[in-house]
Structure 1
């Protein structure tokens, strides 16, 4: 049927009243319709595109300005209805469909990884740098990076996953300083801890790759490949987790005394609050809620925009109130001896010197966070409260890293609070 003239109210009102709309082709697969009624007409859109999730669509978009002037919202002129149809109901051209098909067929694993890193830089900037390093080391310079996603197989992912687990961390190549050469593990001198650590690393990289492939599927508007190919590749179950290194209370005091004053305050802050280094280094006066045992921190992980509340133990509250005296609202709470804020790795050498002076052996700054958690659990603080103090949403991390302390807490809790049913006789008296 030939297109009809729908441009003016006069020509539209001259059309016969009928149940079927009059159609005008706007472009291939997209038509603007006019339904003539007794009291005026309505605008419709009809779209046909097999590449879309809903290949056939027909909807009413507004009232025609046959008897009332257009307002651009409910009552639309011909030009306005045409603009709405073109803007809200786009149809892929033949060229776009061919381009989309080419992208689907030729998109490689490295494209998925780089696209996902671009998204992380925008939404998860704090964790993007570490993910970029991980991607360069374990994915982008490996054969798996050049495999088209449509050709990716479960076996290829499993082999790549195993390869990471069966190699040492490696050393940097002088010819290619940005790439690490992984050295195969020697089974004769390999320890169980090294094996577990490598499997743990392999699991983290596998999780990142799965996220990148899922994002690429979403980005292209449809599955490039069946997600089951990578979702069915399972993590190593026997991958070890870091054993929490914790200092005794006496060792904690020795460490603080061995530090210079500025580092000592930073170490005290970690031991009393359980904050990460980045959280301590970025802590400003305005984030300490004076008179209340809590902090208001900016989001540190994920893409959340909500501020994070951290509750403080009494000693931490007193300590921080001492540190914020005479500080401006935007001043950093912890500074180096020269008055500058702490930056990444500024603490490494001073902390190593303090550990050596205190005869405490190797200790990471992050282990001070473990010291805080261990002290809390040993003092029978509710595990969920400890998890909240550390910034965790649930108990999973505590169950992984502090399993022995959690068991002790459970044993003690059952002894103190369990009911006595009486099926085995009277309850024995507790020894004083």
Structure 2
């Protein structure tokens, strides 16, 4: 903490009353280039601060809020003593330095987890980051109720570990209709349901990531000096290996045929482009480039636009949907002519899967997985699939789809491993094979 400077002419009101009334303040140096000034008037004086600015080659001046304690006793806010004014002057210049570096002014007093989350999400909104709405909902549901009032300088690894573990034991909430006064919850999974507990730990890790990002942002902004508390809290291991759900080519065809006409076009678009639901729902006729055979995705998840390549089949679908329509129209519309909105895809997809006899827990994102998986099975390089899906690099692509691709290892093993004669046999002939044999008679 900077020492308090002494000055017999400014320290008390009696001494200041002997100073001349003048336009130029009476200055006292506090530090190199930083000075505190007192300007006396007929009734009550005021405090000013000035600092030499090397860039502009001149002094920068600022009048401190409040007044000097010439008439009233100092309270540190509205009425400032000489000592209070020195503290305010140094704070002002620290804030000016932070602004020059692109940071927010330093937070005075306790800086809470709720402050850190608020400032972090606001910074992401300014940058145009995706997923802010979802992360804010997660924070309001899982972080702020338990940790929002905690001073981040007093957080401990023990408390954060207990909170992280507790996330796995929270009752799962179901969606409720508008105006509902209570939330429906599901009971905890059975102890032996390993997949359900894996999913819960995976969700807890994602929420921990949001909290750590907010706290790291607070550290970067200078609200706290270290990250020992949250750096020591590690995510649950081996919980992100969820089974990837995709459809075979035959199942994809059955699904398309089972969809109502308006939803069928949306499903076709997903299967033939690998685009996310939101990307398709907001696609316009002008995004379809007939000459290049591509569809422009203006806002990818990563924030960058990308051009999705269409196969001949995909080109035919978009050509039919876009022909003769204004460039600003949405490509995919509901039967009532309105755009597809948030969550409009869930119920019709579930119904179509049932009609198609597809017993898989597939959501709309599984259609994106299907597109990428079928490309991988056909030997498409991971870099090409990553480009098509809009991944920043091949790491995510390889994590999900590399094991589907033909490889030197798998081909070599199948070619060289001798037959041991222990595979057994079966008298059951697959239905599809019997049909093919009967058709040839």
SS for the counterpart of 1:342 is coil
Q: Which of 322, 325, 328 pairs up with 1:327? A: 325
Instruction: Work out the CA distance in 1 between the residues paired with 2:138 and 2:315.
Output: 38
What is the CA-CA distance between 1:249 and the residue it aligns to? 1.1
Q: Which of 158, 162, 177 pairs up with 1:159? A: 162
2:286 matched residue in structure 1: 286
Q: Which of 194, 197, 208 pairs up with 1:195? A: 197
SS for the counterpart of 2:148 is helix
Q: Which of 329, 342, 345 pairs up with 2:343? A: 345
2:364 matched residue in structure 1: 365
Where do residues 172-251 of structure 1 align in structure 2 (5 Å cutoff)?
A: 185=188, 188=191, 190-219=192-221, 222-251=222-251
Instruction: Work out the CA distance in 1 between the residues paired with 2:358 and 2:232.
Output: 44
Judged with a 3 Å threshold, the aligned counterparts in structure 2 of structure 1 residues 263 and 94 are, in CA distance, closer, same or farther, namely same
Instruction: Work out the CA distance in 1 between the residues paired with 2:284 and 2:247.
Output: 28
Using structure 2 for the length normalisation, give the TM-score. Answer: 0.68
Instruction: Work out the CA distance in 2 between the residues paired with 1:97 and 1:60.
Output: 19
SS for the counterpart of 1:380 is coil
Please tell me whether the aligned partners of residues 107 and 223 of structure 2 are also in contact (alpha carbons under 8 angstroms).
no
Please tell me whether the aligned partners of residues 297 and 309 of structure 1 are also in contact (alpha carbons under 8 angstroms).
yes
Q: Please, what is the CA RMSD of the aligned residues?
A: 3.6
Where do residues 50-61 of structure 1 align in structure 2 (5 Å cutoff)?
A: 59=54, 61=56
The reply on whether 1:46 has 2:63 as its aligned counterpart is no
Judged with a 3 Å threshold, the aligned counterparts in structure 2 of structure 1 residues 366 and 57 are, in CA distance, closer, same or farther, namely same
Judged with a 3 Å threshold, the aligned counterparts in structure 2 of structure 1 residues 94 and 315 are, in CA distance, closer, same or farther, namely same
Judged with a 3 Å threshold, the aligned counterparts in structure 2 of structure 1 residues 183 and 204 are, in CA distance, closer, same or farther, namely same
Please tell me whether the aligned partners of residues 121 and 136 of structure 2 are also in contact (alpha carbons under 8 angstroms).
yes
Q: CA-to-partner distance for each residue in 1:225-280, whole Å, 9 max, x for gaps? A: 41232233222221133311111111111111111111111000000000000000
Please tell me whether the aligned partners of residues 172 and 179 of structure 1 are also in contact (alpha carbons under 8 angstroms).
no
Judged with a 3 Å threshold, the aligned counterparts in structure 2 of structure 1 residues 187 and 336 are, in CA distance, closer, same or farther, namely closer
2:301 matched residue in structure 1: 301
Judged with a 3 Å threshold, the aligned counterparts in structure 2 of structure 1 residues 156 and 253 are, in CA distance, closer, same or farther, namely same
Instruction: Work out the CA distance in 2 between the residues paired with 1:60 and 1:271.
Output: 57
1:116 matched residue in structure 2: 120
Please tell me whether the aligned partners of residues 137 and 180 of structure 1 are also in contact (alpha carbons under 8 angstroms).
no
Judged with a 3 Å threshold, the aligned counterparts in structure 2 of structure 1 residues 186 and 385 are, in CA distance, closer, same or farther, namely closer
1:381 matched residue in structure 2: 380
Judged with a 3 Å threshold, the aligned counterparts in structure 2 of structure 1 residues 173 and 110 are, in CA distance, closer, same or farther, namely farther
Judged with a 3 Å threshold, the aligned counterparts in structure 2 of structure 1 residues 235 and 410 are, in CA distance, closer, same or farther, namely farther
Please tell me whether the aligned partners of residues 382 and 398 of structure 2 are also in contact (alpha carbons under 8 angstroms).
no
Instruction: Work out the CA distance in 1 between the residues paired with 2:140 and 2:220.
Output: 23
Instruction: Work out the CA distance in 2 between the residues paired with 1:336 and 1:156.
Output: 49
Question: Structure 1 stretch 133-142 or stretch 158-167: which is displaced more?
Answer: 158-167
Q: CA-to-partner distance for each residue in 1:303-349, whole Å, 9 max, x for gaps? A: x4x53233333322232222211111111111111111111122222
1:131 matched residue in structure 2: 135
Where do residues 5-154 of structure 1 align in structure 2 (5 Å cutoff)?
A: 46-47=33-34, 59=54, 61-62=56-57, 81-82=58-59, 85-86=60-61, 94-95=87-88, 103=107, 105-124=109-128, 126-142=130-146, 144-154=147-157
Using structure 1 for the length normalisation, give the TM-score. Answer: 0.69
SS for the counterpart of 1:216 is helix
